Structure 1
């Protein structure tokens, strides 16, 4: 069993949590490799142990059986694309704040031992394919585990978009933008914008307007087979911006459209602890009601 340990050095100072996890796993008989989830920012001084051998995720994932991420949800989201591409299940250990997608907290590292013997279950999470088109030309393409957010820039007063499902108009939005989310992403920005909480193992595409100026603009859950299109009006001189899973923003111009559909691949999240989705909501978010 080869397990790749990928730790966010800004969340896991000195990689202390990852190194403790490595001791637990190797004692149980697993082969482990340590990687950083991303290239550190230029000029940053990281608190990394001397003489520690670190590898690269793109080198290790093709031969990995399992990936463990140490950090917040952003660390898991960052790793999800590549891990899913190689069919590698992901387990998250929370060293951030909420850590909604993480399976374990840093105090629960002894629970990792059964992984060395393949004793775990896998939960599939739907993903979204996201494309930006200008006419017939594809300008940008990515995959989302959480969401695709189309929003106004700091200089724009409002964002104006149309949302279509299979080329049929669903709603027009005048406001701050729109979020197209997976069930996994329903507890992220979509929830904060007033969208529904959806069980993460279900299938559906959630459309949530952000600060809409119309009473009729309401969050909707569409069938997973729908092709959702967010269309920018032609002749609109205001730029909007697309961000996929909180990544770098892509600028959109008038007439551009963003096409979003269910991805063929699904992210595999490892489950060890016997906690239901509702227990996690109560623990992380303070419950569904007061």
Structure 2
């Protein structure tokens, strides 16, 4: 078995957790691959094969992501393109997509024995169509957010499905998420929690100037078009999975639909999503200085 280990060393204790995880996998006769940029950080682990990112992905049977949900999002695009399952080990605060907490590394032995299930997740396809220029295409595991910039006082959004306007609102922004992303920004903006294997597109408004600001759950076959108009000489931006990818002008259009790509997330613990909801949403978060 070959494993591509992708750590986020900006996370507290991630280096120690990664070292322990690699030792466990090595004891289970697993071949471990890691990007060359981590060579100095893990130079004492002489059993690790260091290579470029593409070789690491192509060679691996799955990807072990050690960090938080944001770290998983960084790997999601490449993992879906190469059809490689992701195992998340949480060193962050919430970790809804992670199957294991950093205190549960012994369960990696079950992975090597094939004792796990796969959670198949839908992705969004985002197509930005400028008035002048070639379209830009992105994929999102969590969400796409279209929101006004700081230089914009007022933003009007028109949301259409198959040519029919379903919402025309004044707001700070709009969120379109997958079921996986329902526990992220959309939930913070008042959207519902959705079982992550469901295929749908959730539409949530951000600080809408309206008496009707309920979220909508649309079918996965929906093709959604969004236009945004701001006050004079101001702008809005498109944010895909936490990254600003484009600055919109008034005549640009953003289309959102189901991506042909899918992402498989490894679940060792069994029912880890509902465990996360019960443990991490049904109680207050600890202080910033305390470990989650």
TM over 0.5: yes
Moved more, 59-68 or 137-146: 137-146
1:100 shift after superposition:
1.2
**Which residue of structure 2 aligns with residue 265 of structure 1?**
261
1:237 shift after superposition:
4.2
Partner Cα distance (1:31, 1:48) in 2: 18
2:41 equivalent to 1:48: yes
Partner Cα distance (2:159, 2:61) in 1: 40
For the residue of structure 2 that corresponds to 1:232, the secondary structure is strand
**Which residue of structure 2 aligns with residue 21 of structure 1?**
21
**Which residue of structure 2 aligns with residue 35 of structure 1?**
35
Question: Which residue among 215, 229, 240 is the counterpart of 1:219?
Answer: 215
Contact 1:72/1:96 (8 A) holds in 2: yes
Partner Cα distance (1:65, 1:136) in 2: 42
Question: Which residue among 186, 192, 198 is the counterpart of 1:196?
Answer: 192
Moved more, 267-276 or 197-206: 267-276
For the residue of structure 2 that corresponds to 1:107, the secondary structure is coil
1:167 shift after superposition:
1.3
Change (3 A) 1:279 1:217: same
2:163 equivalent to 1:167: yes
1:135 shift after superposition:
3.8
**Which residue of structure 1 aligns with residue 71 of structure 2?**
75
2:99 equivalent to 1:106: no
How many matched pairs? 281
Contact 1:132/1:256 (8 A) holds in 2: yes
**Which residue of structure 1 aligns with residue 236 of structure 2?**
240
Contact 2:154/2:230 (8 A) holds in 1: no
Partner Cα distance (1:13, 1:57) in 2: 23
Spell out structure 1 runs of 4+ moving beyond 6 A. Answer: none
Q: TM-score, normalised by structure 2?
A: 0.89
Query: Once the two structures are superposed, what CA deviation does each residue of 1:14-60 show, in whole Å capped at 9, x if it has no partner?
Result: 72211111111121121111238xx79xxxxx992445664332221
**Which residue of structure 2 aligns with residue 278 of structure 1?**
274
**Which residue of structure 1 aligns with residue 204 of structure 2?**
208
Question: Which residue among 218, 225, 229 is the counterpart of 1:229?
Answer: 225
Contact 1:70/1:94 (8 A) holds in 2: yes
Moved more, 201-210 or 247-256: 247-256
Change (3 A) 1:124 1:197: same
Change (3 A) 1:207 1:76: same
Q: CA RMSD for the aligned pairs?
A: 2.3
**Which residue of structure 1 aligns with residue 3 of structure 2?**
3
